Structure 1
């Protein structure tokens, strides 16, 4: 059966844009492209490679050129050779992986250079002592239990159906190299307010940091401070970041030792604040830059028919955001998946707020806990780990470790305005404690602690999901009223579906006119009246169809908008506070 695909071209070196927009160096080397692969039943390195694989597309995807699953107990092996452009033996060689799902070990020239566990966050290995001026060999071994284990995996399953999608194994984000001086920047971090920003800079060795802050191409202020410390920059006439005017300040940083520049990077930040606070009548609202702001959002699961977890191109990443913004939406809820850094960069530059979910893990708790009880208003304490299939202490600790890694990796994304540790009870445990942890890690953003149901009374939002029953305002409890999933109205569009016979939707409509009429009725009769009841967040399901789910505003191939765009825009213009 011919699979659905998008129209975005994929070059010989896919995704060849610099992958870390908030710490950019001029010199780097992309290792995406054709590698060799093999799948083995044992952890022993294969004697023979089984074919080519296009990195960074997972072997389950069409764009990888493989289109085969990797099962629990098997090991996926990658191999390629590389020579370092302009190799300098006096410099450190850093090997970066955007994300590898799930556990991997990396070998350089036959020696183990390091590894990583966790399928969603970037990691870096210093491979200086392993590389040589001549050609080098790079081997990566990956294992992934998917839904047969407890690790965070989002909606990946080995046997997709309904709202559960094709699994992804191995390298699914860019692999790249940098050579840097032994004294180099290791991180840049910003904490903004409405009229200042505190800049934290870490380096591998001591030195002086020279920082320029720019508007467009003009330097407006410069500072020198010590690496490992921080610098506060104040603005007399600050330009704030909003979805309507997403202004970003550029930053140039140089590291100096004994008067010699050893590293130079470019970055950016936006001045903005997020909070949930009550108005003069005591009704809590989401605040952007100190003012009530209605978030009109879409659920966005980040799947592609040809690349699965990996967009076919950087332009494809941009296009999703552009299409949502053109329809009048100002927020995307990145649903139990983490994207490459460039996706958040595009949201920053284009002006799109983001709710960031933590990918869920553990076994599905069953329809009674995850569907039936919540729909009749029964909330279960998530301290009862067994009920939520969360008895495994090591798995709970690993989830928390990966949650911390996600926040650390994404904390400087200007666009992210809310963290979501759990969704609909899937793998949920101790959500109130997770909220406290998130507030400690990042006190600048609100938290939706248990999106949808099994509310533990924590977090900043009273978060509600409604697909079947009428949406009603919750009893006031000091948290903001957020409708974090609703709608899901569906249509099968011939020629643009993954599997017509097995397509899934909560409510099916035969054509564009019927779907649009239902969308209008839902908003005019249920959603818009809730603005007077304190509603400040609405997240419609969803941006695009995903595999068997056909409830997107756009088809899975991104080719067709299934609703009348003018009606969607008209409704969004009314969703304001």
Structure 2
């Protein structure tokens, strides 16, 4: 029996603003908008019964506020659902969109239900769905009647069983959080013509002069007219048929970028009377070389260093579901205000409005696939494959998404199968060639990857450069700092920082090193993380979003934005490391030789300074000398972050000697040392 959710009293500035009659009243699908719709959020009956019970309960346990999951405070219930349980919902409603002559179809939308849902209308089963992160739609026209109707839903959610579940855990702790079961996004009803449009997305041609539209409908080859608009002004009108690509040349095209997030408005009118509003953007993403020959991520053909936070998307009051749309926008506005141009959405998929707000704000998104754990059976692997495709299909209309991550830190990847994961990544690259694909963030990169991703805490760090891959730092930082009165658990208020100086000072030092790594080929970096989450205290913001822990927005933005500006010139004079070295016959992984190891390098004396960087982990301890002179600042064990010191005074023009003596108790101990020539006045 799982424990009940932790009864934290932590709320957010929006908790008290949640409507008890109609929470989340906003139109939920901004990428395909119609006027005729009805929101079914609000107070529903619920009951938790043994999973074997297949009939709707005769007696209900109480009321639950949809769309908040049953484990959350905002649901009004705060109860754990176990693998032995089934969760039932029921509500009555009068469809405002239903006409007695029934000339239109009535579509029932569930934007997310975790995990398996069966749905009845007036006792008639109208459909079922598996998958905790993608929306699904049921045509319930034949089951509806004029007047009052009864909607019943049965949910089964084993959590961490054979389905993708992200960071949910029945026994939360560490980096795993309170589980989420049942309805957690908006439920709504929509009236559409018999022949109607079902999906719209656009891709930008490589020359960034045209958009290719993919419009789907309830019937193939349905004619439609598309108007592309700049604001309210029509730029171009074109006609097409559903199921057939339509290429539209855009006069005087305006490109989308983080600094100028321009969106074209769309109006589509289909034969049969359907009319929808949507939007599109001109933007391309690809890999390419910069003038120094490093592989970079190109946005609209130009190198752009991408930097942003890891974003879990959790809330102390609503868990997976933000309390309001205003709260949802707050996180996005905060990231822009703090100087980020990108966010990595970590093993969770957000409501459509989150992506729409990012599109409008100019925030690039790296989208993770929510991980599974027991992906060791064919059923589990099939579930993962199905939900990956569903996530991609849902997110593709949003131009801000520029990268897919299939696995995070190998979670479930070994059980899934390494060769199969390679084929899955290859399939994804071919299925969506308009975006980049990372097969594994942090651990296992399989063959043919476009991204070489390392996690390094607190870091930063970089893998040796690989031809054809962009080197990215998928996670770093993670520095914990408690903020009394703003913790999920009061006992966490007592935690102290584990580094010297203020959090802001240490963060600035990390970005100093990220900037120099950028000049050595690093293409992007992700800091852990945007907010504290439950017992994790490593956010820029507290879990309740009330406190910025890094000395305010302006200071943090100044730190972040220097990563986009021209930087110093950096040349690697010598590199000794477990993942790559400029000198053969050097052992950087334990057990280490008992004798000192020496490398030689040449310095021309023209650079402003030479820095020696080092880190040592898993019990490794270093003693370094340069030309026989000790470097005490880097002696001992450094931990998983670079320490650096200016060694220019120890050098001679011409050949120099760097000597490393390493000791370790563990055979897995390792270290890295770099000598870097740095010129701030390079004029780049």
Residue 19 (structure 1) aligned with residue 19 (structure 2)? no
Q: Distance in 1 between matches of 2:541 and 2:460?
A: 25
**Residue in 2 that maps onto 1:484:** 474
In the alignment, which of 183, 189, 209 is matched to residue 177 of structure 1? Answer: 189
Matches within 5 A, 1:450-469: 450-468=440-458
Residue 253 (structure 1) aligned with residue 268 (structure 2)? yes
Runs of 5+ unmatched residues, structure 1: 364-389
Matches within 5 A, 1:352-431: 352-363=363-374, 390-428=375-413, 429=417, 430-431=420-421
Q: Secondary structure at the match of 1:157?
A: coil
Residue 520 (structure 1) aligned with residue 530 (structure 2)? no
Q: Secondary structure at the match of 1:112?
A: strand
Residue 508 (structure 1) aligned with residue 497 (structure 2)? yes
Q: Secondary structure at the match of 1:347?
A: helix
Deviations 1:388-418 (A, max 9, x none): xx43122111101110111111111111010
Aligned-pair distance for 1:87?
Answer: 1.7
**Residue in 2 that maps onto 1:212:** 227
Q: Secondary structure at the match of 2:261?
A: coil
> Which shows bigger deviation, 181-190 or 71-80?
181-190
**Residue in 2 that maps onto 1:371:** none
CA contact 2:109–2:189 (8 Å) conserved in 1: yes
Q: Secondary structure at the match of 2:441?
A: coil
1:345–1:472 CA distance, 2 compared to 1 (3 A): closer
Q: Distance in 1 between matches of 2:228 and 2:561?
A: 35
Residue 47 (structure 1) aligned with residue 58 (structure 2)? yes
Q: Distance in 2 between matches of 1:459 and 1:473?
A: 14
Aligned-pair distance for 1:437?
Answer: 1.2
Deviations 1:317-346 (A, max 9, x none): 111010010010011100000000000000
Deviations 1:372-396 (A, max 9, x none): xxxxxxxxxxxxxxxxxx4312211
Residue 168 (structure 1) aligned with residue 180 (structure 2)? yes
Aligned-pair distance for 1:142?
Answer: 0.3
Q: Distance in 1 between matches of 2:277 and 2:532?
A: 37
In the alignment, which of 191, 215, 236 is matched to residue 221 of structure 1? Answer: 236
Report how many residues are paired: 543
In the alignment, which of 525, 545, 553 is matched to residue 540 of structure 2? Answer: 553
Aligned-pair distance for 1:280?
Answer: 4.6
> Which shows bigger deviation, 217-226 or 101-110?
217-226
1:434–1:502 CA distance, 2 compared to 1 (3 A): farther
Q: Distance in 2 between matches of 1:503 and 1:58?
A: 27
> Which shows bigger deviation, 24-33 or 248-257?
248-257
**Residue in 1 that maps onto 2:332:** 321
Q: Distance in 1 between matches of 2:44 and 2:76?
A: 11
Higher strand share: 2
What root-mean-square deviation, in Å, do the aligned CA atoms of Structure 1 and Structure 2 show? 1.7
**Residue in 2 that maps onto 1:197:** 211
> Which shows bigger deviation, 33-42 or 468-477?
468-477
The TM-score normalised by the length of structure 2 is: 0.77
Q: Secondary structure at the match of 2:440?
A: coil
**Residue in 2 that maps onto 1:119:** 132
**Residue in 2 that maps onto 1:188:** 200
Aligned-pair distance for 1:161?
Answer: 0.5
Matches within 5 A, 1:80-159: 80-88=91-99, 89-147=102-160, 149-159=161-171
Aligned-pair distance for 1:473?
Answer: 4.3
Q: Distance in 1 between matches of 2:365 and 2:284?
A: 14
Q: Secondary structure at the match of 1:134?
A: coil
Which structure carries more relative contact order (alpha carbon 8 Å, separation 6+)? 1
Q: Distance in 1 between matches of 2:346 and 2:115?
A: 19
CA contact 2:114–2:182 (8 Å) conserved in 1: yes
Q: Distance in 2 between matches of 1:302 and 1:503?
A: 22
**Residue in 2 that maps onto 1:438:** 428
> Which shows bigger deviation, 149-158 or 4-13?
4-13
CA contact 2:454–2:463 (8 Å) conserved in 1: no
Residue 5 (structure 1) aligned with residue 5 (structure 2)? no
Q: Distance in 1 between matches of 2:431 and 2:404?
A: 11
Aligned-pair distance for 1:530?
Answer: 0.4
Q: Distance in 1 between matches of 2:370 and 2:222?
A: 38
CA contact 2:162–2:383 (8 Å) conserved in 1: no
**Residue in 2 that maps onto 1:540:** 527
Q: Distance in 2 between matches of 1:539 and 1:561?
A: 18
Larger Rg over CA atoms:
2
Deviations 1:540-564 (A, max 9, x none): 0000000110100000000010002
Q: Distance in 1 between matches of 2:97 and 2:176?
A: 46
Aligned-pair distance for 1:502?
Answer: 5.0
**Residue in 1 that maps onto 2:279:** 268
CA contact 1:509–1:515 (8 Å) conserved in 2: no
> Which shows bigger deviation, 276-285 or 57-66?
276-285
Q: Distance in 2 between matches of 1:566 and 1:250?
A: 33
Deviations 1:513-550 (A, max 9, x none): 611111111221x2111011111101000000001101
Aligned-pair distance for 1:469?
Answer: 5.5
The TM-score normalised by the length of structure 1 is: 0.91
Deviations 1:254-307 (A, max 9, x none): 1124xxxx2100000000000112235432100000000010110000000000
Residue 33 (structure 1) aligned with residue 39 (structure 2)? no
Q: Distance in 1 between matches of 2:175 and 2:520?
A: 31
> Which shows bigger deviation, 281-290 or 547-556?
281-290
